[in-house]
Amino acid sequence: MNITKSHPYIKYPGNVHFECSLCALCCGDTETNVRKILLLKKEAEEISKKTQRDIESFAEKTDDKAPYVYVMKKTKNSKCVFLKEKLCTIYDIRPLICKFYPFKIDNLGNQHYRFSYTKECPGMGKGSQLKKTFFKILFSEFITSMKKNNS
């Protein structure tokens, strides 16, 4: 992914209300969705370092989702291996894809990006309306993670 210093065009969803309900639905498969928790190389390395576990113990390689190179393993009940009693045990270093949920960002090319979201999340439609600033902060985290991953 080529990230330049030019100003990107970002399409934000309008009139979106969201408040996390701490249900942990985002941390694994549901009846209608097989969730792939994708990891950047640097994210997997950081998780490995902080948890003192080999990457292979919590993730497996994937080569179809660049720039992501790993996908998080799941437990027998199809939840993330780092989920314990509906709490993330690596919350402070959780992957970008987890920070974004229920939102995702699509790179449309030519410095054009689009935010979208899943209506599957029970927190959608609840809470206060999200401002453009919310998405700008997410986009900034995205850019920072991509730059860090490419260094």
Task: Give the tens place of pLDDT for each residue, 24-70.
Answer: 999 999 888 899 999 999 999 999 999 999 999 999 999 877 889 99
pLDDT in tens, 115-146: 999 999 999 999 999 999 999 999 999 999 98
Contacts of residue 72, defined as CB under 8 A and 6 or more positions apart, other chains included, come to 37, 38, 39, 58, 59, 80, 81, 82, 95
Q: Is a pLDDT exceeding 90 seen at residue 148? A: no
Per domain, the residue ranges of the chain are 9-150
pLDDT at res. 5: 57
pTM value is: 0.85
pLDDT at res. 98: 95
Q: Is a pLDDT exceeding 90 seen at residue 4? A: no
pLDDT at res. 133: 93
Q: How many CB atoms lie within 10 A of CB 47?
A: 21
What average pLDDT score do residues 101-113 get? 92
